[in-house]
Chain A
Amino acid sequence: MDDVRDTGGTRRVTTGGARVVTTDRHDATDTRTAHGAAERVARASYGRLVAVLAAPTGDLALAEDALAGAFEAALSSWPVQGVPQNPEGWLITVARNRQRDVWKSAAFRAAVPLEDAPARADDPFAGLDPARIPDRRLELLAVCAHPAIDPAVRAPLMLQTVMGFEAAQIATAFAVPPATMAQRLVRAKRRIKLARIPFEVPDRTALAERTPALLEAVYGCAAITWRDEVGSLAGEAQYLAVVLATLLGDDREAWGLAALTTLSLARRNPQSAFVPLDEQDPADWDAALLDEGESYLRRAAAGGAGAPGRFELEAAMQAVHADRRRTGRTDWPALRELSMALVRVAPSLGARVARAAIFGRTDGPDAGLGLLPEASAGQSFQPWWATRAELLWRAGRADEARDAFGRAAEMTDDPGIRAFLSARAGLVIPPG
């Protein structure tokens, strides 16, 4: 697959942010052209360049600093000199020289073990041809999701080092203070460097062991960014899932995850008020993305014998909903089958709540209520309350339903969902 993709203008480039500073010393048109070129390279290549720059020494922080410096240099040089024929090669050459300057500095040399000092005779970049930059993003993703890295920081690390997001943006998505997120990322990078977590694609056996953590971290990027309002981190996570599936080549669950994130992205409409999936107008969905997601799902399904995994099943459920754009109806019996399979493969609380909601449609609200997990397991999980409320309502237990809608409304951070549930409950809950 081509590295340069643009998912309907939903991807954001970080060169507009703090990592690259625009200069106003030159003619505005040249500056715009140069800035546009830098943005295009950043969008397509940020993770590739970081991976190549960090791989020889494992120093991600230095690689990112050097690359940011190279982008700054590009923005002052390109408007004057013109955009080079091979912008990636230009950037990596400048960034590499910046790394060498740091390695040669006395302060740095005094701070590393003699045996490890990169100011050694053998240049870690000897043999790297700027015109043919290898793709080491899978190595970088494997580092981010390494078992020695705290699972909670794996997704943020991917968003920063592979996608180029600022710590502050990631902090917002994960609802932690920016300083806390910055500290976690710095600590993880120090750990990668000092413990020497290798930039290597694990061999086939080890890769099979480690792929679930890789997929989980990319899924984490998607889940956390789902209803991100303006920045469209959700688009970034979808891009990352497709990159991972492409790099892994024939991993069935990786294509399942690519399909899941793509189909979900297609139905994403942060501007509008919250509407439950089965009441959405298919005309509002992004048809091109749905087609793309369906093609990934077909690729997953063709990926081998045996039962589908969790991500493929979740993607298949999304595809059933998406199919309403053709048939005009939702195939609830198909969803019922898939939800049972999902609970067998991955009996998470979310999967069991989803199964109860679907059985409520196919087998009646009492059947749904019977399948809903016990209150002790579900009562701190917002979708449990929302599903329970809907089932109670349809079972004619209006008073209990109203209470449950109220609880569900209180538990969400999303103003659109809160407004929807409050309306359902016939309650007015002040915002905030």
Chain B
Amino acid sequence: MRYSLLLHYPEMSPDELGAEGMAEGQRAFASYAATLHAAGVLISAEVLQPSEVTTTVRVVDGALQVQDGPFADTKEQLGGTVVIDVPNLDAAIEYARQAPSISWGPVEVRPSATHTVDGAWTTFETPAAHAG
């Protein structure tokens, strides 16, 4: 079963982080990716650029609005995503606990509903289908 680990943490500029801090963070993420890969659970992972370079796009009254900045202006921003395939929530929580960003901010563990295989979505389960 797939889970997305959504890593949220306060953004720090390279100056605030320092060269040492940056290098340490990179080592931690490298080791985390290696751990997930070695365990055979890693599907994909991204570390995102800071939200100051993100662009939010929406359609308002039929017109495209392109806006500088993130969707939600919060102290903690989405900073990375990791998709893993593990048997159950306890296993996913265990990998979330090991995420290097956990000491800076929360990791959201979200079960996957569907994903693409060769450009086609697998069928998926909607919560409404089993509301009874």
Contacts and interface: CB of A to CB of B under 8 A. Distances in A.
Contacts of A111: 123, 125-126, 129-130
Given A61-B132, A196-B111, A113 B125 contact: yes
Contacts of B114: 113
Contacts of A110: 123
B131 A186 contact: yes
B35 interface: no
B127 interface: yes
Interface in A190-242: 190, 193-198, 200, 202, 206
Interface string B72-98: 000000000000000111100100000
A198 B87 contact: yes
A24 interface: no
A193 B130 CA distance: 10
A194 to B, nearest CB: 6
A371 B131 CA distance: 51
A374 interface: no
A190 B90 contact: no
Interface in B99-132: 109, 111, 113-114, 122-127, 129-132
Contacts of B93: 148
Interface in B31-46: none
Contact of B122 (A114, A190, A196): A114
Interface string A111-148: 11111100000000000000000000000000000101
B109 to A, nearest CB: 8
A113 B117 CA distance: 12
Most buried by A among B90, B129, B131: B90
Nearest to A148: B89
Nearest to B126: A111
B125 A194 contact: yes
A186 B132 CA distance: 7
Interface string A90-116: 000000000000000000001111111
B78 to A, nearest CB: 20
Contacts of B87: 196, 198
B128 to A, nearest CB: 9
Given A111-B130, A113-B114, A190-B130, A195 B89 contact: yes
B1 interface: yes
A196 B88 contact: yes
12 contacts: A111-B123, A113-B124, A114-B123, A116-B125, A146-B89, A148-B89, A195-B109, A196-B111, A197-B89, A198-B89, A198-B90, A200-B90
Interface of A: 59, 61, 110-116, 146, 148, 186, 190, 193-198, 200, 202, 206
Given A111-B129, A190-B131, A194-B125, 9 more contacts: A111-B130, A113-B122, A113-B125, A115-B122, A186-B131, A186-B132, A194-B111, A195-B89, A206-B90
